[in-house]
Structure 1
């Protein structure tokens, strides 16, 4: 896009570009999302910036009306596999806050200077500024939805000092932390403890097929770690989370908060509030909330055979995961068995080796077992052939020692090659892990029984999938949806 086409998007308040670029208004010193409902500024009075961090670094403050800091993340970072996209996924997960720029660079395999240069060239801000913008948003959420003391909010949001916290909040929001809290329009006055929880609205673009996502997760819900309550249309999904500083419980509602709302209602209870950023990003990946449904529909809907399926399920998403290593284990458990059988095996694994929560929360009792725990476990409780138990232990050992890396910034192609090098891991399992654990939107599983059945219904073969790039993962879900749920092979 050039600046003229960006301005046309702003004039038409086109929400498709929220998060893709930001509009900075020179006369007011405010930056907005493209769909901001305020009066459109004159063309000569605006600049277009590639990130909220770049707008803040240039001295602009966030619009109080459209709250540009709350927009969904750019779908570009999910689709791309280069170093910048990998860095953005890691920054979103809070790696800079936990490990610094050196830790980010180490995970990417570059020098800190190279990472700084690449991010600045493309996004107008380096990793520290990008992380700072994210910390500011986290701080606002905590200030406006919890009763935590301001000092605790500062450190929970990832700031290294209260002074840095105060300066950042005033720069970004043109308010002190106290004023920001006083101006909150909604949210119960929480007690500040982990039991009270943090209410959130997780934004998404365009239509969202919540019925498909919640049904997909419900069929795979593992006892002790996940549970789904309610009836279709009004379900609540709950699960435990293992996080960098502790544990958490998340619950997400299927029904939107109000008609036409472009968000999912979510509540988080954390044993350590410093995990808020990581927890939110993991839930967003699980529900595929940063997807671009318009781009997916444009490509898949143009196919004469797949198009009717796309039209029948607008806003269909490709669910990801909250824990990539958990998904890898469950993928091996699900080899050559039904969804129900794989779910039962995973429940047995949780009961035998899972880490108990500090206190049970409804049906949630454990966090899924860690890879290093399973690597040396006998796994006799599973009742599987020894060859499959060996494959599971081999995978877990590779995850534990770093032979296979599945963090948000992992090189997807390298991760798949590493998985295929392990005995007992075939193309289907490696591809499924790449699609869900690594959030790759362009994976196709031609050997999957449900996919083969779906292709037969369309009168197509696997070669047809070439026309669906780079959104073959979404095409795969449309094919699964066209067949009975029991034709889905994996848990």
Structure 2
């Protein structure tokens, strides 16, 4: 279901008729908007998902509160070898079981790509009936969705920054990174001023530092409080993504209400590629796969939130007993990611 504002349709027709038409500055493509509605299978725990996104929102790039989520967008356009810039905001239409998405008109050329990412971000193809059948623990809510990410590289950077530190500390580091290397993009939202730096920007920053006599990406990110090891890992992921060696795009995990095992196998292949990068251990590999790819069977047995919650539920599991946590989690395959989200809740 899609609703487009009339003036936007007229402008699209003008562009189709004359690709060289100049739009007056006061009619910026970032100020024109169009609206779409994305249906989901109810019930939908909107407030819980928003709370997850709000805690992890990257300052300047994302914003979430009790009723909405908004962010800037930098979407690669493979056909033209450039990136599309824009913004989007999402609210919940409870009455009609759908999300209402407003986007800048600049997003229109990549609308199909963006819709795939949005459905992934909010886990809209999820089938709660499968969870009810497979995960029967009393503490699991079968309607809780798996939050994804709009950009896989962004998710990977955010995950690397979050290694062995708190969520709030990782968010602070991400905000510093964005202010230092992000592209300014201010269309009027008080909390959104930047585009997240893509892989090319990270690589170029390291290259420029080397040309200037520095040691590379560590010199660039070190003053922000990012350790040299994490800086090197971020750069390595950036190079793998830019070269096409690793594709961190959402996979069609759910198809017609069932798990797509071909997509799951593809995700597991990408996870092996990630694990070959120095600095990407099991925790990072699973966290990236869960949010960047939509992998349904990630399990973070060393995550402090998982450790504490499993200790509360299963007192017989000692805090240091990683093997026992893994053994308990075997019963939750192939949906361990949904168990993790419930543990974090």
Cα distance in structure 1, aligned partners of 2:283 and 2:176: 24
Secondary structure of the corresponding residue to residue 379 of structure 1? helix
Distance 1:379 1:469, change over 3 A: same
| Aligned-partner SS, 1:297 | helix
- Per-residue displacement from partner, 1:82-121 (whole Å, max 9, x unpaired)? xxxxxxxxxxxxxxxxxxxxxxxxxxxxxxxxxxxxxxxx
Which residues of 2 match residues 392-431 of structure 1 at below 5 A? 392-408=234-250, 411-431=266-286
* Corresponding residue for residue 94 of structure 1: none
Pair 1:387 & 2:229 matched: yes
Secondary structure of 1:361 counterpart: coil
Shift of 1:414: 2.0
1:467 aligns with 2:303: no
1:64-79 superposed matches below 5 A: 70=1
Give me the TM-score of the superposition, normalised by structure 1.
0.56
Q: What corresponds to 1:170 in structure 2? A: none
d(CA) in 2 for partners of 1:148 and 1:385?
A: 46
Higher RCO structure (Cα 8 Å, ≥6 apart): 2
Q: Note if 1:452 corresponds to 2:307.
A: yes
Considering only CA atoms, is the larger Rg found in Structure 1 or Structure 2? 1
SS of 2:7's equivalent in the other structure is coil
Structure 2: segments with no counterpart, 5+ residues: 17-26, 78-82, 207-216, 252-262, 318-324
Query: In 1, Cα distance between the equivalents of 2:12 and 2:104?
Result: 16
Alignment correspondent of 2:213: none
Q: 1:445 & 1:154 partners in 2: Cα distance?
A: 51
Separation (CA, whole Å) in 2 of partners of 1:324 and 1:292: 23
Which residue pairs with 1:297 in the alignment?
132
Task: String of CA shifts for 1:240-262, please: whole Å, max 9, x gaps.
Answer: 11123511211112x4342xx31
Flag the 1:153–1:285 CA change in 2: closer, same or farther, 3 A: farther
Where do 5+ consecutive residues of structure 1 fail to align?
1-69, 71-140, 157-190, 482-491
Give the one of 189, 192, 205 matched to 2:41: 205
Partner of 2:23: none
**Aligned to 2:112, which of 277, 280, 285?**
277
- Shift in CA distance, 299/314, structure 1 to aligned 2, threshold 3 Å: closer
User: Per-residue CA shift, 1:313-336, capped at 9, x if unaligned?
Assistant: 452101001001100011111101
Change in 2 beyond 3 A, CA 1:146/1:444 = farther
Deviation of 1:360 after TM superposition, in Å, equals: 4.7
Shift of 1:192: 10
Distance 2:11 2:187 in 1: 27
Per-residue displacement from partner, 1:227-284 (whole Å, max 9, x unpaired)?
124xx3xx2111011123511211112x4342xx311222111325212222222111
Q: State which of 151, 174, 187 in structure 2 corresponds to 1:346.
A: 174
Asked whether the 8 Å contact 2:61–2:194 carries over to 1, the reply is yes
Per-residue Cα deviation, 1:286-308 (whole angstroms, up to 9, x for no partner): 111111112112221x2xxx22x
Q: 3-state SS of the aligned residue for 2:301?
A: coil
Would the aligned equivalents of 1:147 and 1:192 in 2 still touch at CA under 8 Å? no
1:324 aligns with 2:152: yes
C-alpha spacing 1:467/1:314, structure 2 compared with 1 (3 Å): closer
Deviation at 1:393, TM superposition (A): 1.8
Query: Following the alignment from structure 1 to structure 2, what is the Cα–Cα distance between the partners of residues 146 and 426?
Result: 50
1:256 aligns with 2:93: yes
Output the CA distance in 2 between the equivalents of 1:477 and 1:272: 30
Aligned Cα root-mean-square deviation (Å): 2.4
TM-score (norm 2): 0.78
